[in-house]
Amino acid sequence: MTARLYTTVDVAKVCKVSLRTVIRWVDEGKLASFRTPGGHRRIKEEDLTKFLDHYQIPFPIKSKEQGKKILVIEEKKVLERLLRQILRRSSDIYELVFTSDLYEASIQAGLLKPDLIIIGDKPKGQMVTRFCQALHKVPETKGTKILVLSSTPTRLNLKGASAIDVRTVVNRAFTIEDLRPHLLEMLNEALPATA
């Protein structure tokens, strides 16, 4: 079993309950969790599986492993709607995992081994460059593709980025149609016909 981490929001969606219910389960000790250095609760896949088995809640965790994994580093989930809209016409299954900072993203990248990492505009350019360099030094994440969304590309050291295989930098003021070709190309998808 892979050591994947879930947020309380992820667990709420899996169990089809409110976020408040999941937090109560954690507070009552029914569902084991830990806190990240940023104070966010995370649930290990092993603990979630035990919880689901104990309370006979069906959820095919293993089926998520068959799809492509996308790690999104974005403070606010403004990209979530856009990404889901772009990927909904795809024949592949995608697992979208969101994190708000590069520290947590480093942990998630090691555990998840994503096919693609999308970096929003919040992290500072120098930190993004270091994160990408570290990512490509580790054999398990060396082949991970990286898509950077930046309103000011000069904040990212593009010379260093090209050496670490950052495939695309898209101006932050993008539309779905601007982002779709970059995203699907990086996921080796054919462009779907627009409806």
Angle between helix axes 8-15 and 19-27 (nearest 10 degrees) is: 110
Mean pLDDT, the chain, rounded, equals 76
pLDDT value at position 31? Answer: 95
Looking at domain 67-186, does it have CATH number 3.40.50.720? no
Closest CA to 8 of 53, 55, 46, 48: 48
**CATH assignment of 5-62, among 3.40.50.720, 2.60.120.200, 1.10.1660.10, 2.40.50.140:** 1.10.1660.10
Q: What does the pLDDT look like over 106-147, one tens digit per residue?
A: 888 888 888 888 887 666 667 887 888 888 888 888 888 888
pTM assigned to the model? 0.58
Per-residue pLDDT tens over the stretch 14-70: 788 888 999 999 999 999 999 988 888 999 888 998 998 898 887 655 444 456 888
Residue 158 has pLDDT above 80, yes or no: no
Q: Which ranges in the chain are annotated with CATH 1.10.1660.10? A: 5-62
> Measured in whole angstroms, how far is the alpha carbon of residue 78 from the centre of its chain?
13
The rounded distance, in Å, linking the Cα atoms of 30 and 27 is: 8
The average pLDDT across 73-95 equals 72
User: How far apart (Å, rounded) are the C-alpha atoms in residues 195 and 192?
Assistant: 9
Number of Cβ within a 10 Å radius of residue 132: 24
DSSP tag of 191: P
